[in-house]
Structure 1
Amino acid sequence: MKLKELIESLDPNPLRKNKEPLAFSRLDPVWMDVRELQIDSRQVLPGDIFVAMKGTRFDSHGELASVCGREPAAVVVESRAQVPATYKGVVLEVPSSRRALAQLAARYNADPSLSLFCFGVTGTNGKTSCTYLMEKILSALHMPTGIIGTIQHKLRDHVWPTEATTPGPIELQKRIAEMKDAGAKALAMEVSSHALDQFRADGIHFNAVMFTNLTRDHLDYHQTMDAYFAAKQRLFTDLMWDSRKGPLVAAVNGDGPWGRRLKVAFPAEVITYGQTKDVDFYARITEMSFRETKFELQTHLGNFKAAIPLCGRYNVDNAVGCVASALALGIPPNVSLAALESFAGVPGRLQMVPNNRGVHVFVDYAHSPDALENVLGALRQVRTDAKADAKITTVFGCGGDRDKGKRPLMAGVAETFSDRVIVTSDNPRTEDAGQIVREIEAGFKTQGPRESILDRREAIAAALRGAGPGDVVLIAGKGHEDYQIIGTEKRHFSDYETAQELLR
């Protein structure tokens, strides 16, 4: 691809001083063929575009002298100050290198999102489930749907491993292009607050976006709830405004205060959903068990009876939000709801571990106070209906090098909704696991049945030993993860596999 084509994708454009088209002579270096986009100064070769970025620990503008000596076709900078005067390539000075990188990556891959129906979901909890729910709806209509999110990147049976919920722009746009080339007709994508704050998803043209909720998490990064919310809101303002699609739909959970505050760019149609009567898509639960929830859905398009093979009020919210989002493609609610009747669930999201002991064992990713309360609230309601004296045991820990303020809050939730609590190690990373446990324990208000067992396997074993027929065991925090991070080492460990083995 010519450098000129990539330059023209930038908005604001650093070379355009007015609204006139860009004009170049045939000898101008913008006619060069671009080899690759680079953010790693060590990887730069002749013909590349190097994007210099400022991070919390490192500013690659300081590498421009050595980078320019490798003859890249262009450098993208937020300041020309460190570009050598001898550099003969194109210098693109932009307000935000991160946003420019996202735009360049999209154009370099021929804007793959323009060829797909694109659904993006953000919120503290529920993002992963919503991408799988949307995949189920669209696949039922013979629209192969790629998923990009926390668990994996997948299209049909093909899986790409991933390290981040929303990868960087270069990898992200490449992955979307690969999915399109492999036959995808749609994309269901988790859009994290980190990704929105760092402009990773800019350059994706969404048809439908969804806001699930906002509760305490990631404050080690965002510092305040208002900053956390502002990052989430970019999906509904900046990215909706930039989308070249139509019609646009924004499905917003209207039950909470943050959803009611959310601003959405015109001309997107806003559809509120939830379980309070003043929303557009109102769900009323009529029956719930460990394996199924039945509800009635009232909308301006009619009223519908529905059943999803999932447990919990929050899963009804997730399903209804996806049904509302599907209207961007003209899919009526009854069609979406029919597709979800055979939904297979999501790995590590209230995933039941089969056994012949009669114990209801679940593995869930809940790692914030609100997520844990949602899951335990659902299990508590259902266990009472199933067996009046059933006991709930919760096994959980908190990740190291993350928001410390939520640790005692998690303890408060666990003791409120459980009959027995076992605190254990999660991913301690570079923190002392024992210290993390002590900070969790500080949140307990009562002297109820609880213990601390640092070894996660032993903690799970203790929970299962103490559970009888009809009792419930929730193993929370890691969900689908098949590893534990201790120090800087990633070791294989799966809550699901461990529980399976111990239950044999």
Structure 2
Amino acid sequence: MEKTLNKIKSIIPRSAFDKLVPIYHFLLSLTGNIVYSKPSREIFVIGITGTKGKSSTAEILNAILEEAGYKTAILSTVRFKIGNESRPNMLKMTMPGRFFVQKFLRDAVIKKCDYAIIEMTSEGAKNYRHRFVDMNALIFTNISPEHIESHGSFEKYLGAKLQIAKRLEHSQKSSKIIIANKDDEKAEKFMAINVPNKITYSIKEAEPFTLAKEGSVINLFGTRVQTYLPGEFNIYNILAAAKFAQSQGIKTETIKKAIEKLKFIPGRLEKVEIDLSKFKTEDNNKTLGNGIFPDFSVIVDYAHTADSLEKVYKIFKDDRKICVLGSCGGGRDKWKRPLMGEVADKNCDEIILTDEDPYDDDSEEIIKCVAGGMKDHKPKIILDRREAIREAIRSAKAGDAVIITGKGTDPFIMKAKGNKIPWSDKRVAEEEILALALEKFKK
């Protein structure tokens, strides 16, 4: 189908093609809904939209619902889960097309899931993939500039998000719920939709709270809750999930138990380390030792905007930071590249710039743009991402923080002409940590 579209694109005027594509995507969504017999009408659907925090909120909410005894499905940037079956999202898109969302919902119905949690993205909305999904609830996390080249302007990007909220308004479900972060200046636009139940949350509701890189202690509905998830932004994510759970009559004690059990979210401030007792020397005679290695932090995070990057770095404000980052190619948000460099320049002690997803753009040009935002640091430039991670880990000393950002759980590095390299920041970091441990053992 893509080949057919590309052929059509080459023979008709651009203006005509631009009008044709939305019709094509709309018809795909309509057809999928018909083929799979309107599955969203048979299950409680929770949409989550916003610029940041969608995947984390989805995972926190899933943990709470499962703790309460419900069977869940998740469609997110991180994974596709239906009941007890879960697989990583290997598609480099959150809301895939070609009937994917409708098939996912039908499978969730067949497996007798009680709730389906779906990340609703602006790119998905642009391609009508949110259409014919009848939501019961929508959670709005926050909004800031992103995907500007794709949408044309921030206003159009915001408009795509608001179209998702409008779908809740037009949903066939009864007792619809909108839950919005009222600390975001655009929250009122989402709360303006016509649904019977409107709930807000604010960071002030979690006060008094304490923040540390090991996690936070918050006040949740008058109950003290300790979470392993660090950062103020994760308090927002917890509040969003907890407010929905409360709307469903789930007890605070159950919410607390679920949050306190959740150790981490894949690719989101995920700590990478190894247990030395599980590895043996090359001659297989001895273990590498006891305890956790290394004696410094290695963190993998999805942060790919300046704002997200700064929030991650602030968590480790008291540590010496070795930061590995890049920026995306393919014409995506070129405006943010120097801003990423500026944030790294202000917060990091050592900076290594590397490939992220160059697509058809020149890797060196991308990195040059990122470096253009730096005044006080001369970054190391190592295009090979594995070598960059290796250099960061081998440069670290006890108590340091190696922070690897930009990809999180992304399964590929996207290269020119559609080529892609299988990838995992976490796996590569683990391999480099193990190699370092083996070297230290030999000494």
Q: TM-score w.r.t. structure 1 length?
A: 0.75
Matched, 1:185 2:114: yes
| Alignment partners' CA distance in 1, 2:338 and 2:262 | 35
| Alignment partners' CA distance in 2, 1:415 and 1:366 | 16
Query: Are the aligned partners of 1:419 and 1:449 in contact in 2 as well (CA < 8 Å)?
Result: no
Greater alpha carbon shift after TM alignment, 310-319 vs 481-490: 481-490
Query: Are the aligned partners of 2:76 and 2:89 in contact in 1 as well (CA < 8 Å)?
Result: no
| Alignment partners' CA distance in 2, 1:489 and 1:308 | 40
Alignment match, 2:277: none
Q: Render the CA deviation track for 1:453-487: whole Å, top value 9, x for unaligned.
A: 21211211221122111111100001112321221
Q: Render the CA deviation track for 1:65-109: whole Å, top value 9, x for unaligned.
A: xxxxxxxxxxxxx99xxxxxxxxxxxxxxx955445424422331
Greater alpha carbon shift after TM alignment, 193-202 vs 357-366: 193-202
Matched, 1:266 2:194: yes
After superposition, residues 101-140 of structure 1 pair within 5 angstroms as 101-140=28-67
Question: Match of 2:206, SS?
Answer: strand
Alignment match, 1:249: 177
Alignment match, 1:469: 398
Q: Are residues 162 and 57 of structure 1, via their aligned partners in 2, closer, same or farther at CA, if it must alter by over 3 Å?
A: farther
| Alignment partners' CA distance in 2, 1:118 and 1:160 | 21
Question: Match of 2:403, SS?
Answer: strand
Q: Render the CA deviation track for 1:407-453: whole Å, top value 9, x for unaligned.
A: 00111111122222111111111111111100111111x22353222
Q: CA deviation at 1:289?
A: 2.9
| Alignment partners' CA distance in 2, 1:157 and 1:494 | 21
Question: Match of 1:394, SS?
Answer: strand
Aligned mate of 2:228, from 299, 302, 309: 309
How many residue pairs get aligned? The number is: 406
Alignment match, 2:279: none
Greater alpha carbon shift after TM alignment, 417-426 vs 315-324: 417-426
Query: Are the aligned partners of 1:241 and 1:265 in contact in 2 as well (CA < 8 Å)?
Result: yes
Q: CA deviation at 1:221?
A: 0.3
| Alignment partners' CA distance in 1, 2:270 and 2:40 | 32
Question: Match of 2:390, SS?
Answer: helix
More helix by share: 2
Alignment match, 1:360: 297
Greater alpha carbon shift after TM alignment, 156-165 vs 199-208: 156-165
Alignment match, 2:421: 491
Question: Match of 1:236, SS?
Answer: helix
Query: Are the aligned partners of 1:236 and 1:264 in contact in 2 as well (CA < 8 Å)?
Result: no
Q: CA deviation at 1:129?
A: 1.0
Q: Are residues 153 and 115 of structure 1, via their aligned partners in 2, closer, same or farther at CA, if it must alter by over 3 Å?
A: same
| Alignment partners' CA distance in 2, 1:55 and 1:331 | 50
Alignment match, 1:172: 101
Alignment match, 1:319: 238
Q: Render the CA deviation track for 1:302-328: whole Å, top value 9, x for unaligned.
A: 523222221111111011101112244
Query: Are the aligned partners of 1:208 and 1:248 in contact in 2 as well (CA < 8 Å)?
Result: yes
In structure 1, what residue type is equivalent to 2:424?
S
Matched, 1:410 2:340: yes
Q: Are residues 428 and 59 of structure 1, via their aligned partners in 2, closer, same or farther at CA, if it must alter by over 3 Å?
A: closer
Alignment match, 2:152: 223
| Alignment partners' CA distance in 2, 1:61 and 1:112 | 36
In structure 2, what residue type is equivalent to 1:228?
Y
After superposition, residues 31-430 of structure 1 pair within 5 angstroms as 58=9, 98-155=25-82, 156-159=84-87, 161-163=89-91, 164-168=93-97, 170-237=99-166, 239-276=167-204, 282-284=205-207, 286-297=209-220, 302-355=221-274, 356-380=293-317, 384=318, 390-401=319-330, 402-430=332-360
Q: CA deviation at 1:269?
A: 1.9
Question: Match of 2:149, SS?
Answer: helix
Q: CA deviation at 1:270?
A: 2.0
| Alignment partners' CA distance in 1, 2:260 and 2:40 | 29
Query: Are the aligned partners of 1:115 and 1:185 in contact in 2 as well (CA < 8 Å)?
Result: no
List gaps (5 residues or longer) in structure 2.
14-18, 275-292, 435-443
Query: Are the aligned partners of 2:43 and 2:115 in contact in 1 as well (CA < 8 Å)?
Result: yes
Alignment match, 2:433: 503
| Alignment partners' CA distance in 2, 1:408 and 1:160 | 31
Q: Render the CA deviation track for 1:477-502: whole Å, top value 9, x for unaligned.
A: 01112321221211122211111111
CA RMSD, 1 decimal: 2.6
In structure 1, what residue type is equivalent to 2:294?
R
Query: Are the aligned partners of 1:219 and 1:228 in contact in 2 as well (CA < 8 Å)?
Result: yes
Query: Are the aligned partners of 1:467 and 1:473 in contact in 2 as well (CA < 8 Å)?
Result: yes
| Alignment partners' CA distance in 1, 2:409 and 2:115 | 24
Query: Are the aligned partners of 1:353 and 1:500 in contact in 2 as well (CA < 8 Å)?
Result: yes
Q: TM-score w.r.t. structure 2 length?
A: 0.85
| Alignment partners' CA distance in 2, 1:453 and 1:309 | 33
Question: Match of 2:128, SS?
Answer: coil
Query: Are the aligned partners of 2:212 and 2:315 in contact in 1 as well (CA < 8 Å)?
Result: no
| Alignment partners' CA distance in 1, 2:50 and 2:43 | 23
Alignment match, 2:410: 481
Q: Compare CA radii of gyration and give the structure with the larger one.
A: 1
Q: Are residues 244 and 481 of structure 1, via their aligned partners in 2, closer, same or farther at CA, if it must alter by over 3 Å?
A: same
Q: Are residues 221 and 247 of structure 1, via their aligned partners in 2, closer, same or farther at CA, if it must alter by over 3 Å?
A: same
Matched, 1:439 2:369: yes
Query: Are the aligned partners of 1:284 and 1:295 in contact in 2 as well (CA < 8 Å)?
Result: yes
Question: Match of 2:99, SS?
Answer: helix
Identical pairs, percent: 28
Question: Match of 2:164, SS?
Answer: coil
